[in-house]
């Protein structure tokens, strides 16, 4: 008989599950989407991720990183992560092939207010890889199409090759009822005959002339978020109606390692989703 | 359980008995520094010490802690959690350090309960030791802590000269007393009075600092010259956070020694380091010492209160004693009260 006086009573929240990569999509030269499933049966079914939540991905021997779950929970049987190659861990992840392993723990953080948004029009505004977290909400809304009003997806990237999810933007989403995709590039590009320029107030007002019964949600690099929050306010949205996400460097994801605080909030457990009224109350440290 | 008495000449025998059934962690002197260490015999234990350089936090939240092992050549990575700790007795912790463990509980025993911490916490009986004397840097009184009470301890010992008064505060403490009954006599009622006298000096000698109004002021001091001024001389060494009993920041790192077998560990980290918040893509919310100093003081004196309902400092004085440039949280508190 083995003695169990040394075993612990709670399972560690820092212990990952093993998953296998099923599919890899090259979004841009530096961004790939990885579709994975857990090896152990039952884990995925009980994962319970909601749109906007994140997970801690790791390669044993390399390290961990927080990544948004880009697939909607309405898409069963897998999780998707869209990952930009920026450093040590993400470079190793980019080398993975179908059949390779990843370690995953989560889901972490709060989520987009997808329940409260029911019956409303959605104005989604994203920049660059910021479309990744937003995509979980977009697909959730579009998979429950009749529960929501008009959907506008506004997306900007630096150049054509930097656009993520081209198959969604140009093939899948525009075919869905009352769903309108608006793409812009920062600069002229030989591969592009669409709009050129940033996501401006004028353009947003053209796309969404009335703020009535509409929820604006924005994700992207910090500078873009700051700009869009201002634009939304100028359009007439109230701060508590404006939804966005904040990002801080993270290690634990469970409110303990002390790395991701803004004021008394830990972005990993209290965020990443906040409304503009909540953000106004935080110290301006993001 | 009523108060007990242990004769001083019996204390080492008591500790030796304790060490037979549990791991004993107690203060020892090594290279003129007093630190807590697991000891197999009571011989090396020192009990007339002022507080140790490093708090006993290490035994609940180690400076570096292996979480699990893995094998990168194994197709399933073969992840195995490391074993927990044996039953142990932490002997001689000072009241401020005992209180700091209650503050760590608020972090680790919260949502996503941290089993590495809780395993050690649950298996440790905490025996506190009142302070008869204190260091010139002590100011626990500011946080409602006192040299002669130890909220969070299972037993509280007080040195009465030739004997110790023992206050039994929890069931865990009672269990320890019952396991070594022969060393504990009943207190004849004179213990409390003797204790008040014994700890008088510590109470009088420590810095008298009041925190009244400090949190409210800090709520409105985000932009204030104090952060620029104070941060000028900081060298960003992180000592203040490493000696602090309440600091709980950590990093998570994988270690492989050129071999297939490796482990993931966590280790203390510090908000005073520039790469603490530096994120991918170059985003850096705390680019200079000003922001990092502000984070440390606001975390202890404002954010911790807002999040957990208590200050994140116990007035142990270690950070001000060890800071090479005398950046002093007690002085900061005083200055905050003086400014606008
Ligand atoms: C809530 C949340 C959600 C996220 N979602 C996504 C997502 O969906 N997709 C995605 O791709 N990313 C996402 N990220 C970012 C992702 O976590 C990081 O990009 C990733 O962890 C980087 O890991 P790495 O080991 O590859 O990079 P690292 O090797 O750690 O470094 C990456 C970059 O950080 C900077 N850096 C780090 N340390 C230093 C240093 N000492 N000196 C100078 N520069 C330094 C550099 O710019 C470097 O290129 C998210 C982050 C958070 C917090
Ligand atoms: S110990 Fe002093 S010098 Fe070192 S980081 Fe802390 S405040 Fe700065
Ligand atoms: S901040 Fe300084 S005085 Fe307060 S508990 Fe930490 S080390 Fe002790
Ligand atoms: S990532 Fe550790 S506290 Fe948020």
Residue nearest to atom 3 of ligand 4 (CA): A255
What does the pLDDT read at residue B258? 79
User: Does the model's ipTM exceed the 0.85 cut?
Assistant: yes
- Distance, in angstroms, between B250 CA and closest chain A CA? 5
Question: B251 alpha carbon to ligand 4 midpoint, in Å?
Answer: 10
Select from B50, B59, B62 the least CA-distant residue to B318. B50
The answer to whether A87 contacts B280, with C-beta atoms less than 8 Å apart, is yes
Candidate of B238, B243, B318 to mutate for ligand 3, largest count of ligand atoms within 8 Å of Cβ: B318
The tokens 């299972």 sit on which residue?
Answer: B154
| Domain extents in chain A | 17-108, 121-245
Model confidence over B113-162: pLDDT tens digits? Answer: 999 999 999 999 999 999 988 888 999 999 999 999 999 999 999 999 99
Task: Indicate the CATH number of A17-108 among 3.10.20.90, 2.40.30.10, 2.60.40.420, 3.90.930.12.
Answer: 2.40.30.10
Q: How far apart are CA B131 and CA B150, in angstroms?
A: 10
Pocket of ligand 1 contains residue B275 by CB under 6 Å: yes
* A5 in a labelled binding site: no
What mean pLDDT, rounded, does chain B reach? 93
Q: How many residue pairs bridge chain A and chain B with CB atoms within 8 Å of each other?
A: 144
The closest residue, in CA terms, to atom 31 on ligand 1 is: A87
Interface test with chain A among B262, B264, B293, B302, by most A beta carbons within 10 Å: B264
pLDDT digits (tens, 9 = 90+) for A23-67: 999 999 999 999 999 999 999 999 999 999 999 999 999 999 999
Q: CB contact, 8 Å: B252 with chain A? A: yes
- Which of A57, A264, A280 has the highest number of chain B CBs within 10 A, making it the mutation to test binding with B? A264
Q: Which residue has the higher pLDDT, B268 or B198?
A: B268
Question: How many angstroms does the Cα of residue A110 sit away from the middle of ligand 4?
Answer: 13
Q: What are phi and psi of B321, to 5 degrees?
A: -70, -35
Percent above pLDDT 90 for chain B: 79
Chain A residues in contact with B276 (beta carbon < 8 A): 249, 259
Tracing tokens 């969604």 back to the chain, one arrives at: A168
pLDDT per residue as tens digits for the range A149-178: 999 999 999 999 999 999 999 999 999 999
Sequential DSSP letters for chain A: ----TTS-SS--TTPPEEEEEEEEEEEETTEEEEEEEESSTTHHHHH---TT-EEEEEETTTEEEEEEB-S-TTSTT-EEEEEE--SHHHHHHHT--TT-EEEEEEEES----TTTTTTSEEEEEEEGGGHHHHHHHHHHHHHTGGGS--EEEEEEESSGGG-S-HIIIIIIGGGSTTEEEEEEESS--TT--SEES---HHHHHHH----TTEEEEEESSHHHHHHHHHHHHHHT--GGG-EEE-----SSSSS-S--SEETTEEHHHH-SEEEHHHHHHS-S--
Q: If you average pLDDT over residues B196-215, what whole number do you get?
A: 90
User: Nearest Cβ partner of A258 from B249, B254, B256?
Assistant: B249
Confidence of residue A6 (pLDDT cuts 50, 70, 90): very low
A63–B254 C-beta distance less than 8 A: yes
- Name all residues whose Cβ lies below 6 A of ligand 3: B 243-246, 300, 313-319, 329
Dmax (CA) for chain B in angstroms is: 69
Q: Would the CB of A252 count as within 6 Å of ligand 4?
A: yes
- Ligand 2 center to residue B260 CA distance, Å? 39
A253 lines ligand 4 (CB under 6 A): yes
Which carries the bigger pLDDT value, residue A12 or residue B182? Answer: B182
Q: In the predicted model, is pLDDT for residue A5 greater than 60?
A: no
User: How many angstroms separate the CA atoms of B138 and B333, rounded?
Assistant: 14
Please determine, for residue B68, whether its predicted confidence score (pLDDT) is greater than 90.
yes
Q: How far is B122 from chain A (nearest CA, A)?
A: 10
SS3 label, residue B234: coil
B320-338 mean pLDDT: 93
Q: What is the pTM of this model?
A: 0.93
Query: Which among A60, A259, A261 has CB closest to B77?
Result: A60
Q: Does B83 touch chain A (CB under 8 A)?
A: yes
- Cβ–ligand 2 contact at B260 (below 6 Å): no
CB contact under 8 A, B262 and A60: yes
Q: Map residue B51 onto helix, strand or coil.
A: coil
Atom of ligand 2 nearest to the CA of B322: 1
In chain A, the residue whose alpha carbon lies closest to the alpha carbon of B262 is A61
Asked if residue A259 has its Cβ within 6 Å of ligand 4, the reply is yes
Starting at the edge strand found earlier in the chain, the sheet holding A31-38 runs: A63-68, A54-59, A101-108, A17-28, A31-38, A79-84
Which residue has a Cα nearest atom 5 of ligand 3? B313
Instruction: State the pLDDT confidence band at B332, using cuts at 50, 70 and 90.
Output: very high
Q: Does B21 touch chain A (CB under 8 A)?
A: no
Q: How confident is the model at residue A11 (pLDDT cuts 50, 70, 90)?
A: low
Report which of residues A8 and A170 the model is more confident about. Answer: A170
Give residue limits of the domains in chain B.
3-53+84-205
- Tens of pLDDT, residue by residue over A177-193, are 999 999 999 999 999 99
pLDDT in tens, B102-111: 999 999 999 8
Average pLDDT for residues A68-93, to the nearest whole number? 96
Nearest to B118 by CA among A267, A13, A239: A13
- Phi, psi of A217, deg, nearest 5: -130, 130
Task: Give residue A7's pLDDT.
Answer: 43
Q: How far is B7 from chain A (nearest CA, A)?
A: 33
Class of domain A121-245: alpha beta
Closest residue on chain B to A265 (Cα): B307
* pLDDT score of A9 more than 50: no
CA of B26 to nearest chain A CA: how many angstroms apart? 22
Nearest CA to ligand 1 atom 4: A67
Pull the structure tokens for residue B266. 């966590």
Calculate mean pLDDT across residues B69-76: 91
Is A164 assigned to a binding site?
no
Verify whether the Cβ–Cβ distance B279 to A248 is below 8 Å.
yes
Q: Strands A31-38, A54-59: parallel, antiparallel or unpaired by DSSP?
A: unpaired
Residue A262: list chain B partners with CB under 8 A. 285
Q: Which atom of ligand 2 is nearest to the CA of B270?
A: 5
Nearest atom in ligand 3 to the alpha carbon of residue B137 is 3
Nearest to B120 by CA among B57, B30, B199: B57
| In chain B, alpha helices (H) | 11-21, 95-108, 115-122, 171-179, 191-198, 200-205, 214-219, 225-231, 239-242, 289-298, 304-308, 318-322, 329-338
Q: Return the residue whose CA atom lies nearest to atom 1 of ligand 3.
A: B313
């Amino acid at each position: 008989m083995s003695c169990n006086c040394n075993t612990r009573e709670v399972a560690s929240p820092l212990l990952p599950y093993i998953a296998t990569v099923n599919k890899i999509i090259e979004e841009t030269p530096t961004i790939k989407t990885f579709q994975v499933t857990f090896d152990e049966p039952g884990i995925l079914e009980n994962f319970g991720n909601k749109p906007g939540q994140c997970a801690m991905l790791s390669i044993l021997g390399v390290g961990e990183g927080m990544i948004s779950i880009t697939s909607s929970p309405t898409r069963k049987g897998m999780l998707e992560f869209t990952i930009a190659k920026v450093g040590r861990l993400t470079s190793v992840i980019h080398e993975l092939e179908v059949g390779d392993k990843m370690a995953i723990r989560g889901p972490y953080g709060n989520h987009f207010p997808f329940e409260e948004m029911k019956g409303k029009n959605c104005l989604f505004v994203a920049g660059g890889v910021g479309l990744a977290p937003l995509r979980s909400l977009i697909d959730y809304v579009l998979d429950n199409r009749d529960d929501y009003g008009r959907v506008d997806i506004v997306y900007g990237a630096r150049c054509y090759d930097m656009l993520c999810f081209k198959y969604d933007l140009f093939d899948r989403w525009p075919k869905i009822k009352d769903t309108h995709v608006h793409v812009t590039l920062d600069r002229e590009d030989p591969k592009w005959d669409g709009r050129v320029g940033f996501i401006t107030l004028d353009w947003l007002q053209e796309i969404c002339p009335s703020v009535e019964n509409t929820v604006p949600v924005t994700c992207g690099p910090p500078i873009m978020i700051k700009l869009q929050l201002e634009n939304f306010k100028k359009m007439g949205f109230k701060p508590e109606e404006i939804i966005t996400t904040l990002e801080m460097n993270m290690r634990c994801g469970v409110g303990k390692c002390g790395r991701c605080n803004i004021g008394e909030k830990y972005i990993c457990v209290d965020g990443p989703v906040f409304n503009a009224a909540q953000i106004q109350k935080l110290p301006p440290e993001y | 359980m009523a108060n007990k008495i242990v004769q001083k000449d019996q204390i080492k025998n008591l500790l030796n008995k304790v060490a037979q059934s549990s791991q004993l962690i107690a203060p020892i002197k090594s290279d003129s520094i007093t630190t807590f260490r697991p000891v197999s015999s009571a011989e090396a234990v020192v009990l007339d010490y002022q507080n140790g350089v490093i708090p006993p936090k290490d035994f609940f939240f180690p400076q570096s802690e292996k979480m699990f092992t893995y094998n990168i050549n194994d197709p399933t990575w073969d992840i195995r959690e490391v074993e927990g700790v044996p039953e142990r007795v932490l002997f001689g912790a000072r009241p401020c350090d005992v209180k700091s463990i209650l503050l760590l509980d608020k972090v680790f025993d919260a949502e996503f309960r941290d089993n590495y911490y809780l395993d050690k916490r649950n298996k440790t009986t905490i025996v506190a030791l009142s302070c008869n004397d204190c260091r010139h840097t002590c100011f626990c009184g500011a946080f409602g802590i006192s040299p002669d009470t130890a909220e969070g301890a299972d037993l509280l010992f007080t040195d009465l000269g030739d004997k110790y008064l023992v206050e039994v505060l929890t069931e865990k403490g009672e269990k320890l007393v019952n396991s070594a009954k022969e060393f504990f006599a009943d207190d004849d009622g004179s213990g409390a009075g003797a204790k008040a006298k014994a700890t008088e000096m510590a109470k009088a000698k420590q810095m008298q600092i009041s925190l009244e109004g400090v949190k409210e002021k800090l709520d409105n001091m985000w932009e204030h010259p104090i952060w620029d001024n104070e941060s000028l001389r900081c060298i960003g060494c992180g000592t203040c956070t490493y000696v602090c009993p309440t600091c709980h920041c950590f990093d998570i790192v994988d270690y492989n020694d050129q071999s297939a077998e490796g482990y993931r560990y966590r280790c203390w980290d510090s908000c005073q380091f520039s790469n603490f918040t530096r994120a991918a893509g170059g985003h850096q919310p705390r680019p200079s010492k000003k922001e990092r100093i502000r984070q440390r003081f606001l975390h202890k004196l404002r954010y911790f209160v807002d999040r957990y309902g208590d200050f994140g400092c116990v007035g142990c004085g270690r950070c001000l004693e060890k800071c090479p440039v005398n950046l002093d949280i007690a002085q900061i508190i005083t200055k905050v009260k003086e400014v606008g």
